Each structure stands twice: as structure tokens, then as C-alpha cells.
Structure 1
Amino acid sequence: MVVVSFPDPLLRDAVGEIPGVEAVMWDPRNGPATDDRIEVVVAPYLGAAKALGAVADLPHCRLVQLQSAGFDGVFEAVPERVAVANAAGVYDAPTAELAIGLTIASLRGIPEAVRSGDQARWVPLGQRTSLADRRVLIVGYGSVGTAIARRFNAFDVMITAVASRARAGDELVDTVHGIDELPALLPQHDVVVVIVPLNDSTHRLVDEDFLGAMPDGALLVNVARGPVADTDALVRHAGRLRIALDVTDPEPLPDGHPLWTATNVLITPHAGGNTTALLPRMAELLREQLTRVAAGDPPVHLVRPIVKT
């Protein structure tokens, strides 16, 4: 019997009973665990990295299963002897939906229309930029980036994909460019969607040079992590560029921060994955993962492998 901790009863009930698994309740944000038998920790949805240091006190823990696709700060908190898996695939559709929504809203002037509506005023938007025929650059072509490209493909756009290294293309793009090609690619695109993981190589990837290379009137959409972009540089280029952000640095973005009132900036409060699709998709992933663990099979979606002794 594998002892698995769940951070909340809603998730535990959605997963249901799994043969060979004993479910216990523990949210590491609330303090140390009282059951030292725990072998698998399902991390809380929010604030996982800050809380998971408590895993070090669980002598039998061998796997932390995240409820996020990103894992920045987790390796520093979780002991090296414990493997870490992320929630790969769970956020593909919701994040892709938001990326498309932010793009269309920004290009078509939806924020301006809402502000006029709040004042009960009819203010024509004038001729706006269509998504059709735009050149779209997706920076970060993993599973979420591919999901974004698949949805953009329905809007008659021209898609270019960038990953950490160049590789062969797929059914959506002829080739995947390396991130070293960004300086040449950025001036050629009307919409740039950033969906890279946050690590040392992507911290402040979207900096003064990145934004400066984008043509006047182009749109930047960041659905990755806030620190991927230099906030001061975003403020400087707002107005010349359109900017749509689901993530910011710092986060939450403080009241009165210049980004809130910067020209042509649209901000949503890190809402990309938090939809009705989250709980059923997370439960499905956990059922698959815990069934494998209970059967003695290796976990999937590992971002830090099992340490062999």
C-alpha cells in the first residue's frame, strides 16, 4: 500500500479510490506532516515551492507530484533524494485558450470597448488589426506552445516556432528555430507569444533588446512566468508595442504600478490555468500517476528523476 498525501479533500474525492493507494490529508502550507508514512506528496496548487521544504521531514517520501507545469523554485525546496513530477498536459488547453483570448482582445480593442461600456458611452474603435494574416512567433514550443500553435492555425495566420534548440518541424510548422535565432526573427513578426519555462537561461529573456527588436505596433503576449520579462522594459515599450500579460514581476502586481495604466497594456491576474477544466484534468493525471506508482511502474512527467540507490 502506497501512502499518498492530498492537499485538499476536493482533489482527493475527484481522484477517487485507487487500488494499492491509501490517501491521507496534508497541506504542507499548514505545517509539518503528522504521518511520516507518506511516500508520495501531491503538492498544493498554489505556493508549492515555498511550502515543500517540509518534505525533508518525511523519511519515506520518494515522489512529489506538482499541480503545476512549472517547477521553478521546487528543486531548491525538495530534497535531492525525492523525485519531482509536473502536471504536464493539464494546462495545455486552458493556457492556449487564454493566449488566443489575450491576442484577439488586444488586437481588436476589447479593453477600450469595456472601458467605454463602463461609462455607458458608445465610442467607435476605428479600424483595428485583424488576427488573420498576422505573422505569429511562438517562443517556447513544448506541449503548451504546440497547443497554442494548433489554435492559432485556425485563424489564417503564419506561425513560426522557437525552442531552446533548432529541430525538425511538425504538422504545424516546417521547422522549429533555436532561441539563438530570436534577434533575426523578432522584427519579422506581428504577434509574439512567450511560453517558455522559467530558468536561468530564460530569466528576463524579454528584455530591452528583445522588445526593441519587435516592430512598432507588434503585440507581445506573455503566458509564461513574470520574471521571463523585464518589467521596467515593458513599461518603456508600452504604447509603441501592444502588451498582454497573464503574469507579472512582481506578482501580484502592486496597486498603482505603472504597468496598470501604461498605454496598450492588458493584464489578467495569472488566470491561465484556473478554469473548469483544471480539476477533472488534474484528477485524470493523478489517477494515471498513482496507478503506476501503486503497480511498481516508474512515474511519468518527471522533471527530476528518481535517485537510484
Structure 2
Amino acid sequence: MAPAQTPAPADPQVPLSELRVVSLPEQELLDHVAARVPGFRYVLWDMVGEPVGARADEIDVAVAPYFGGPWLRALPSASRLRLVQLQSTGFDGVPAAIGPDLALTTAGWVHAAGTAELALGLMIAAQREIDRAVLQQHAGVYRRFSTRTLADSRVLVLGVGEIGSAVVDRLVPFEVETTRVASRARTDDRGRVHGVDELPELLPRTDVLVVALPSSGGTDGLVDAALLSRLPDDALVVNVGRGRVVDTAALTDEVVSGRLRCALDVVEPEPLPADHPLYRAPGAIVTPHTGGSCTSYEPRVRRLLVEQLTRLAAGERPLFLQQEGRLAFPPEPA
């Protein structure tokens, strides 16, 4: 009998102390971070062209550009890379693209304020029919009309992460009844969080449904025709999470029929085709994924990157760690 094969040893973990070279995609961002977190060698790399100040195969930590995915094609040249830091909160598709050996961190709260602010703006715009007033204005028409209000509405926020929690914070002074829903039921310092399995019972008592969920195998298509049918007539669906969480065809049918209304910053597909019915349907507002594209983004992402690199330099776990790769992070605090 042939001897049993000895399994190949797993690749050893890499100590955080071996992270020395950090790339950033913009000069202003590099200057800001380098002035505040000494101890690293900083290089300029947009992950499209060649790095400035080092070779790609010398870089340990790469901050990815905010927009677009072409940077993923640069990864094979960065053979020493250990960690990728995103400037976005969403990371759908990235773990599969970068593989299990790289650590991945996201932007967490960087976009929470801007996106929550837009969610509130969409709710107010839809309830008070500001879009109707703007169309009248452009037509040179001054005609008064009565509208719904956000006050006294029953608002269900689906998703209690950074963005969903920021939406709930901003709803407090608006005199609404707020219900929070997450993947599982629990109680936290704000009170009760319902589980998604309770949605069929909660939606009939909902005037405004705010979707603030990321895209994942468990969330894509969650808000389908069956759940939408549970909403009462004239309810408003606001999506500032990911377009794939809501069944676009089912929502379109409900809105075009006039039974539901919607205010969407994210859609699936993105962008919608130019002839898509939602662009012209009464009761629909579509904004071009502008939740995080605002003036609060730059100072907040700078603050986050300083915090992340300060933590790495001290041998600590970074914030918003989605996968550890082969880095030897200390265990999470109990």
C-alpha cells in the first residue's frame, strides 16, 4: 500500500508588522494620510497605471479608487499585496474577485450620513410631491395642491447597519413611528429589532418602506412581488441600499399600476434603460446613485483611512473587516 500523502502545509499568516508599503489612489489623499500616520512608505497608485514611488509587487496595503472596478485587474501585478481597503460601503462581488488570501476592509460609516440624508430627502420629496412642484415650475405653472406628510407615517427601515441606523437617527424629530428589521430578531440599546421573517406581518402596517440592505446571497431579491403585495395601497418604497435587493420588475408593476409609489437611488440594472417605465411613471422618483457622492464623503474617508492605518501600525484589527485573508489579526474583543 502506498504511504498516505502528507497534506501541504497551509500558507503561514503574515504579521501586521510586515505591512510597510501603502498605496493611495490620489495625491491629496496620500498627503493627508502620510502627514498623520508615520511609519509606512506611501506611494501613489490609482490601480490602473503604474505606481509612483514603488513597484506594484512591493505594495502591502492598497486603497482602491472610489469609482469603478477596473482596479481589480491590477491585483495580479501586486503579488505582495495583503489588504485592500475600499472607499465604498458595499462590497458585493469583491471577495470573489480578490480571492480568500487578501484581507478586505470597507468604508463603513463614511457614506452613512450622506446616504441617510438622501433617504430622508427622498421620503420628504415623495410625500410632499416636490417633484410635481418642480415640473409645474418648469412649465410656468403655479397651482396649489394638498399632499401626504412624513409626520405620523409608519416607517419600516429594512437594515440596521451603518446606513440604516443613520436613517433611523434622522427620523427621530419627524414624529414618525419607526420599525427596524434585520436578518434576525434581537434587542439592542435602541430597543426591538424585528427579523426578516416578520416582514409579512409588518408590511401591511407600513406607509414607508426604506431599504438599506447590502447585496448578498441572502438579500438579493428579498423584496419580491409577494412582499410588495403586503404593503398597503399608496405606500412608498425607498431604496438606498442595493438595487438587487428589490425585484425591479415587481416594483415597476406596482408603481405603474398606481398602487405603490417609489423613490430609488439604486436600481437593478443600473442604470435603467432609457425607456424604462419607472422614469415616467407618476409616483416614481429615480436619482442616479448619489447617496455617497456628496461633500461629506472626502473628509470622512480621510478620517477613516487615518484610523485604519493607525490601527494597523499598532497591531490592531481595522474597522469594517470583511475577510481576514492571511493577515495575523488579533482576535476580536469579547
Q: Same fold judged by TM-score > 0.5? A: yes
Structure 2: which amino acid aligns with 1:45? Y
How far residue 28 of structure 1 moved from its aligned partner, in angstroms, is: 2.1
Gaps of 5+ in 2: 1-18, 329-334
Whether the 8 Å CA contact 1:53–1:78 is kept in 2: the answer is: no
For 2:85 and 2:327, locate their aligned partners in 1 and report how far apart those are by CA, in whole Å. 18
Counterpart of 2:216 (choices 177, 191, 199) is: 199
Distance verdict in 2 for CA 1:243–1:184, change over 3 Å: same
Distance verdict in 2 for CA 1:29–1:244, change over 3 Å: farther
Q: Deviations over 1:178-210 (max 9, x none)?
A: 011111111111011000110011111121112
Matched, 1:19 2:57: no
Counterpart of 1:182 (choices 196, 199, 203) is: 199
For 1:220 and 1:107, locate their aligned partners in 2 and report how far apart those are by CA, in whole Å. 11
Equivalent residue number for residue 39 of structure 1? 60
Equivalent residue number for residue 98 of structure 1? 118
Matched, 1:108 2:128: yes
Structure 2: which amino acid aligns with 1:90? V
Moved more, 287-296 or 58-67: 287-296
Q: Deviations over 1:103-126 (max 9, x none)?
A: 00000000000001011111222x
Matched residue pairs, number? 305
1:4 is paired with a residue whose SS is: strand
Alignment of 1:241-252 (within 5 A): 241-252=260-271
Equivalent residue number for residue 228 of structure 1? 245
2:262 is paired with a residue whose SS is: strand
Matched, 1:62 2:82: yes
Equivalent residue number for residue 9 of structure 2? none
Counterpart of 1:168 (choices 180, 187, 195) is: 187
Whether the 8 Å CA contact 1:42–1:65 is kept in 2: the answer is: yes
Q: Deviations over 1:34-56 (max 9, x none)?
A: 431100010110114x5324323
How far residue 10 of structure 1 moved from its aligned partner, in angstroms, is: 3.1
Whether the 8 Å CA contact 1:64–1:83 is kept in 2: the answer is: yes
For 1:110 and 1:219, locate their aligned partners in 2 and report how far apart those are by CA, in whole Å. 14
Whether the 8 Å CA contact 1:104–1:131 is kept in 2: the answer is: yes
Q: Please identify runs of 4+ aligned residues in structure 1 that moved more than 3 A.
A: 29-34
Whether the 8 Å CA contact 1:85–1:304 is kept in 2: the answer is: yes
How far residue 294 of structure 1 moved from its aligned partner, in angstroms, is: 2.6
For 2:248 and 2:184, locate their aligned partners in 1 and report how far apart those are by CA, in whole Å. 26
1:91 is paired with a residue whose SS is: helix
How far residue 136 of structure 1 moved from its aligned partner, in angstroms, is: 0.6
Q: Percent identity?
A: 48
Equivalent residue number for residue 7 of structure 1? 25
Matched, 1:77 2:97: yes
Q: Calculate the aligned-residue CA RMSD, in Å.
A: 1.7
Whether the 8 Å CA contact 1:56–1:78 is kept in 2: the answer is: no
Gaps of 5+ in 1: none
